[in-house]
Chains A and B, each alone.
Chain A
Amino acid sequence: MQTIGSDTVEPLIPTRMGDGSLVEMTRSEIKADLEEGTQFAATKGKVSPLAEDELDHLLDIFASAARFTGVDIGDEVVLTKDGTGSPQLGSRLDALFVAEQSFGHDSCELWHVDYSYRAVKTVLPMEQQAMKEAQERMVIPVHYGAQPDLGRYSRPDGPCDNWSELLPMMKIDEARAAQEEAIEMAVEDMVFVAEGMWEAGADGINFDTAGAAGDGDFLATLKAVELLRKRNPEMGIMVGMAGEMVLGTHGQLEYDGKRLAGMKPLDQMRSVQKAGATIFGPAINVNTSKSTAWNTARAITFVKPCMPEAKIPVHMNVGMGVGGVPMHAFAPVDAITRCSKAVVDILKLDGL
């Protein structure tokens, strides 16, 4: 507290909004945001809010004026990645090599700029050659990743009727049928590409932003994982989600007897685990008009129920606009490292 004349004034602490913009807040304001963020998630997700000691710890992290923070020595976790490197210099493989040798990445991911399994299918031999070369050059695990991207199967990009056009016309049955048709095609493409990359030496396959196009997108991913696990018992498979709730663009799809529409992180994890993945990545979206403290408390609250029940590692998504990290392509390190420490400390995650 500072005293100005007869008034006692709380000092201002530089912090960030969900869009990454720099703002100043008092410790009390940050505390209020943490409490509001956890309550918001508890209500929406029908889960318990964070405990008092957890909120106190988050307050210490977010009310610090330090430019950079990190977990305690010994508490480090491993990092997996969706799409490693953006090669300002050299090739994609050079970017992976820099990530290994200079950035200290625990693993990396070879990726195609058209980050969709359907798109990659058309250039698979070239991607396999790139994976072969990556394996000859890298010691750390090199995964291959892309998005299930169910929307790509609808017209005009794909062969199926466009359910996003059918739904506003109240053609519900037609929209559902189009998604069901697309699901089977997506499963076939994902399995084809994943097995191709496995044959080329990949250390694992990443299905990134599962559920981005709704419950059909998520079901296609689960079916692909199930098939891959059955046919390739040694394959590492990671499923990263698109958001905290699966959208019901179909509405009636189920996996293992559970409705996928509206599914929250705990049930998402149960489904991914049941399908046979080896890593689950929950994604909690950021509200850009709220503070980083608010968003991080909200994200942690959503993911917390996964932790005691998980039988496979949980790698929370903490990239651009998820897990509390600001929605900006070049998010500031003060915000990133606060989120990084906060989610690892509170959730005892297996990785990021």
Chain B
Amino acid sequence: MDIAHSCASGMNGLRAAGDLVVRMQMSQGMRIKEAKAFVADRLGVSTLMLSDPLTMHELRGEKRLGRVFESETTYFRDPSPIEAKVHIADLLGIPVNAATKLKAGLGL
């Protein structure tokens, strides 16, 4: 069920920029068109590119937003998930709960 919807209609999550768009919806209540435009603007790409795994894989690496990996393509220098969420919060200009808590714990 999940895989079928993901392939048929989804934005590819961490493989592309689906997680960033859904953050704007869940935390800010933005509708899809507005959320896509906002994220695309922050990333400096067109909205078409937001679902493109090739473009977004490279861009996520450059901006340290976290990305998928597999056995022959590893990214041990990439940020940890919580560090990635700090970068995501900064990029989108929204509070990300876990990132806010990490910063508070570090006194930042």
Contacts and interface: CB of A to CB of B under 8 A. Distances in A.
Contacts of A135: 81-82, 85, 97-98
B66 A139 contact: yes
Contacts of B48: 73-74
Interface in B34-77: 35, 47-48, 51, 65-66, 68-69
B78 to A, nearest CB: 10
Interface stretch (A43-51, A63-71, A245-253): A63-71
Contacts of B80: 136
Contact of A141 (B16, B26, B69): B26
A80 B6 CA distance: 10
A349 B96 CA distance: 25
Interface string B23-35: 1011111111001
Complex A-B, nearest 4 residue pairs according to Cβ-Cβ distance, in ascending order: A106-B18, A236-B26, A139-B66, A337-B8
Interface residues of A, number: 60
A143 B15 CA distance: 19
B35 to A, nearest CB: 8
Interface string A184-217: 0000000000000010011110000000000000
B19 A140 contact: yes
Contacts of A333: 4
A104 B26 contact: no
Given A139-B84, A349-B32, A105 B26 contact: no
A104 B8 contact: no
Given A78-B22, A106-B18, A350-B25, A201 B97 contact: yes
Interface in A81-137: 81, 84, 99-101, 103-107, 135-137
A351 interface: yes
Contacts of B8: 68-71, 336-337, 340-341
Contacts, number: 184
Contacts of A319: 1
Contacts of B85: 135, 139
A287 interface: no
A58 B34 CA distance: 26
A102 B80 CA distance: 18
Interface stretch (A27-35, A172-180, A308-316): A308-316
Interface size for chain B: under 10, 10 to 19, 20 to 34, or 35 or more residues? Answer: 35 or more
A106 B13 contact: yes
A79 B6 contact: yes
Interface in A127-161: 135-141, 143
A76 interface: yes
Contacts of A204: 26-27
Contacts of A99: 2
B34 to A, nearest CB: 9
A165 interface: no
Contacts of A340: 4-5, 8-9
Nearest to A75: B9
Given A104-B12, A136-B82, A278 B7 contact: no
B54 to A, nearest CB: 13
A336 B29 contact: no
Contacts of A13: none
Contacts of A348: 32
Contacts of B32: 77-78, 313, 348-351
